[in-house]
Structure 1
Amino acid sequence: MSDNQKLIDVTMPQLAESLVSATIGKWLKKPGDQVEQYEPLCEVITDKVNAELPSTIDGVMGELLAEEGQTVSVGEVICRIAVPEVSSNATGTGETPVPSSHSSGREHQAATQGAAVSATGEVSAVSENAPMRSRYSPAVQSLAAEHRIDLTAVAGTGNGGRITRKDVLAFLAAGGSAAAAVASAGVSAPARQTAASATPVQAFETVQTELEEPVRQSGLHLSESPRIPTIEVEGGRGSSSEYLIDVTPIRNTIASRMRQSVTEIPHAWTMIEVDVTNLVILRNKLKDEFKRKEGINLTYLAFLMKAVVSAIKDYPIINSVWAVDKIIVKRDINITLAVGTEDSVMVPVIKKADQKNVAGLAREIDELALKTREGKLRLEDMQGGTFTVNNTGSFGSILSYPIINYPQAAILTFESIVKKPVVINDMIAVRSMANICLSLDHRILDGVICGRFLQRVKDNVEGYTPETKLY
């Protein structure tokens, strides 16, 4: 490193509130490589997601402090980036220094394109183009709303000029009355309006920018397609009777979660048989028109999910988690959908599924399944699930014993639809039948409540008629 450069630590970010660590999957930059802002530094594995972690500054990649496959705690330094040192006599003339193209957002959130009030109450220049300038966390927005603070008047000391809660508190401590000075200092009304109307987003969420070509923003960008496990033929033994498969970080995460589920949760299992003849008739009647109108397939899973959601509303204890000294019942019904890829199972979530009709659920299922198989799931797509549904019948299964998606209380599978002879009113009829299987956490749920829940799901599924509406 030259004398006019300094090293900036890059730490593992808090990707989500509930996450405390992540695994380095693969380094995309090596020491000495030029790094541009928003360019991915490494692949990160967390919550079964293979993602890319972008740089927030321009510079040259320095030392790598975390190895591939290493699990790193939030806040721990994973690498360092060398950036130009600002000359100490840059301010000797009394002029405002202009940041270099390789300066970090923390050091140079003050530029000459606007003005804001710093913690001392002085008007300082702030760049409207600072990458994180107008991105406010919920805590910052709440504090600003409580004290009626115009956030365009606050100088940000966070990465990329982002305003932190500490900045807002410092602004309040300094009087917090200098917002009017900002307008007189040259901040245009459109600029203030844009910043004030910016919607709050989670850190590391993809944002849109007006640039000549698409760039990687401060979001988690996934690989274009799911990875297939690397197979290495074992050598040195003179035999081709076996081969080795590397355990990927995603597979390792799945193994850990499954082990945690079966170790901590006392699983119980039950099954019910459902007559889906009317559902088959209904779907066959509507699927072609739905395909022309919506451009997607109308699957049985959308109807099943609607039946499950309605049953959960009748038996909300199903939508809960174990918390040692209490049971937490979730008010929102967020259905986790198990989607298989070549080498793993992803679990995207349909948020507030109880507020969607069959058509809406079909659209969500198709969108999430497509994003999963193309490797384009975002972190928020995987969070907040309260109950899991798996369509195991899609690959021919007629009976399954699913492992609960920890820490949820239950998981339900929908098996293959099979034509069977069934006795109805002492006569034999050929009907379309399917099994619905439920694994449950026996600490929370007992046979009676789960039996009633499954019976309600059965009633809802068998309640579909050729006149049932999708919208």
Structure 2
Amino acid sequence: MSIEKMAMPQLGESVTEGTISQWLVSVGDSVNKYDPIAEVTTDKVNAEVPSSFSGKITELLAEEGETLPVGQPICSIEVESAEHEGVSSQERRSPAVPVSEPEANDTSMKKRYSPAVHRLAQENHVDLEKLTGSGRSGRITRKDVEKFIAAGSETISGKVSEKRDDLTRTEQTGAASFSEAARQAAPIQIPVQRAQNEAGDVDVPLTGVRRAIANNMVRSKHEIPHAWTMIEVDVTNLVNYRNQIKNTFLKKEGHKLTYLPFFIKAIVAALKEYPRMNSTWAGDKIIEKKAVSISLAVAAEDALYVPVIRNADEKSIKGLAIAVDDLASKVRNNRLSPDDMRGGTFTVNNTGSFGSIQSQPIINYPQAAILSIESIVKRPVVVNNMIAIRDMVNLCISIDHRVLDGLITGHFLARIKELLENISAENTPIY
């Protein structure tokens, strides 16, 4: 016996590192050579990494979500000496061993779906629970899903015809028979028609980042019951105050003072007063997060990133301004690390920077809410029974209705509104 280390493979010509998005094995598992052991994401591809050896997993050297350079060990495998002589464990098995041996009945990997399998099943409305996996330990492979879809396509017309005949007979036997027939009717799998290229169309390959965004957004919309509301806020005092101090702040601190830090400061203060807004759904309970860390949606040329301002409740407006500037610079220069993206508890989306006045953001899973700050625009409003020109902004919030309801969300927004409308040099320190 000897211990061999599996290294992070190079999954592309110019790829220098990869992120372990999911382990497909655990310590103590036995694997054969070429069995998939992990899913790895790079800036170019999302792929399964096969084992280089046959043996037993003795140690996982990287956490899920950890990024490692190409060539760095990711796990240790205990292998037999025959492995180094070019004989795999599969080849050493006796042909007399029956197929009913214990590992043939092992289905421990049945529900460990790869992103490719999960996406294909969702696109074609396939219930993965009903499939039998041909992979190791019952794991469902892409070929299993494609085979199921193909089988459904061949019999779809016959199923539809049979179902129509059943319904016709049911109508003749009354409502009670209809209920029984409907209950017993077999479900029909109808593959989704995929878009076809036409002349002049351009294929844009999916980057690892864009694929990760897509998967997270689909998961959020599928799992989280979204609710949405909006309030308008008079930020005339904020606009005037910021205009008075922005030039001095730039000269003194070397950073621009935008409106965003003021909004974040008010949001963070309201989160401290209403901690349920700073929560996550955990299946059988709701977890109110102690830390108040703001995920900030920042757009780049090819994707939307959501880096995190950690412990935002401990920062002044100056500290928030510097943090916002630093994260935006990292996004522009492609210097974000995985650590910059972890730990967010509530998301702020500055859609106003694009001129938007109203939006319905998708919640950043697994958080419970996301708030969009829209454009500040001058509008005529009624103040003290007189029409005045004021600087107004819409704040739009999407919430997880499992965790939050209209009452607490309304109080939360009202508190943000109060804080923003009462900004002044006297009660809003920058430092």
TM range (shorter): 0.5 to 0.7
Equivalent residues in 2 for 1:15-94, closer than 5 Å: 26-28=12-14, 40=16, 42-44=17-19, 69-72=45-48
Aligned to 1:264: 223
Aligned to 2:419: 460
Give SS of 2:313's match.
helix
Alignment pair present for 1:10 and 2:7: yes
| Counterpart-to-counterpart distance in 2, 1:265 and 1:248 | 25
> Once superposed, what is the RMSD of the aligned Cα atoms?
3.2
- How far has the Cα of 1:295 moved from its partner? 0.9
Aligned to 1:410: 369
| Counterpart-to-counterpart distance in 2, 1:415 and 1:356 | 23
Equivalent residues in 2 for 1:418-433, closer than 5 Å: 418-433=377-392
Residues 307, 460 of structure 1: 8 Å contact kept: yes
Aligned to 2:333: 374
Aligned to 2:342: 383
Which amino acid letter does the alignment assign opposite residue 278 of structure 1?
N
Which amino acid letter does the alignment assign opposite residue 299 of structure 2?
G
| Counterpart-to-counterpart distance in 2, 1:306 and 1:78 | 49
Alignment pair present for 1:294 and 2:253: yes
Residues 274, 458 of structure 1: 8 Å contact kept: yes
- How far has the Cα of 1:294 moved from its partner? 1.2
| Counterpart-to-counterpart distance in 2, 1:160 and 1:421 | 62
- How far has the Cα of 1:11 moved from its partner? 4.8
Give SS of 2:12's match.
strand
Question: What 5-or-longer segments of structure 2 have no aligned partner?
Answer: 23-33, 54-58, 64-70, 74-196
Q: Structure 1's 28 and 343: CA in aligned 2 closer, same or farther, altered over 3 A?
A: closer
Alignment pair present for 1:439 and 2:415: no
| Counterpart-to-counterpart distance in 2, 1:294 and 1:394 | 23
More helix by share: 2
Residues 265, 317 of structure 2: 8 Å contact kept: yes
Question: What 5-or-longer segments of structure 1 have no aligned partner?
Answer: 1-5, 13-23, 30-39, 48-62, 81-105, 107-131, 138-158, 162-235
Which amino acid letter does the alignment assign opposite residue 395 of structure 2?
I
- Using structure 1 for the length normalisation, give the TM-score: 0.54
Alignment pair present for 1:396 and 2:372: no
| Counterpart-to-counterpart distance in 2, 1:160 and 1:440 | 41
Alignment pair present for 1:344 and 2:341: no
| Counterpart-to-counterpart distance in 2, 1:453 and 1:354 | 16
Q: Structure 1's 426 and 385: CA in aligned 2 closer, same or farther, altered over 3 A?
A: same
Which amino acid letter does the alignment assign opposite residue 346 of structure 1?
Y
Residues 307, 461 of structure 1: 8 Å contact kept: yes
Equivalent residues in 2 for 1:137-286, closer than 5 Å: 239-240=199-200, 242-286=201-245
Deviation string, structure 1 residues 203-230 (Cα, Å, up to 9, x no partner)? xxxxxxxxxxxxxxxxxxxxxxxxxxxx
Residues 8, 72 of structure 2: 8 Å contact kept: no
Q: Structure 1's 70 and 359: CA in aligned 2 closer, same or farther, altered over 3 A?
A: closer
Residues 226, 398 of structure 2: 8 Å contact kept: yes
Which amino acid letter does the alignment assign opposite residue 411 of structure 2?
R
Q: Structure 1's 456 and 27: CA in aligned 2 closer, same or farther, altered over 3 A?
A: same
| Counterpart-to-counterpart distance in 1, 2:403 and 2:253 | 40
Which amino acid letter does the alignment assign opposite residue 26 of structure 1?
G
Give SS of 1:384's match.
coil
Give SS of 1:403's match.
coil
| Counterpart-to-counterpart distance in 1, 2:291 and 2:244 | 32
| Counterpart-to-counterpart distance in 2, 1:379 and 1:10 | 20
| Counterpart-to-counterpart distance in 1, 2:403 and 2:375 | 29
* Identical residues among aligned pairs (%): 50
Deviation string, structure 1 residues 337-389 (Cα, Å, up to 9, x no partner)? 00000111111000100001100000000001110121101111110000000
- How far has the Cα of 1:248 moved from its partner? 1.5
Give SS of 2:203's match.
strand
Which amino acid letter does the alignment assign opposite residue 238 of structure 2?
L
- How far has the Cα of 1:272 moved from its partner? 0.5
Q: Structure 1's 46 and 460: CA in aligned 2 closer, same or farther, altered over 3 A?
A: farther
Residues 409, 444 of structure 1: 8 Å contact kept: yes
Which amino acid letter does the alignment assign opposite residue 458 of structure 1?
K
Moved more, 373-382 or 315-324: 373-382
| Counterpart-to-counterpart distance in 1, 2:331 and 2:314 | 23
Deviation string, structure 1 residues 267-306 (Cα, Å, up to 9, x no partner)? 0000000000000001101100110111111011100000
| Counterpart-to-counterpart distance in 2, 1:25 and 1:437 | 41
| Counterpart-to-counterpart distance in 1, 2:221 and 2:72 | 44
How many aligned residue pairs are there? 276
Deviation string, structure 1 residues 379-424 (Cα, Å, up to 9, x no partner)? 1111000000011000100000000000000000100000000101
Alignment pair present for 1:333 and 2:292: yes
Deviation string, structure 1 residues 52-108 (Cα, Å, up to 9, x no partner)? xxxxxxxxxxx9x99973434xxx66779xxxxxxxxxxxxxxxxxxxxxxxxx9xx
Deviation string, structure 1 residues 139-180 (Cα, Å, up to 9, x no partner)? xxxxxxxxxxxxxxxxxxxx999xxxxxxxxxxxxxxxxxxx
Residues 10, 77 of structure 1: 8 Å contact kept: no
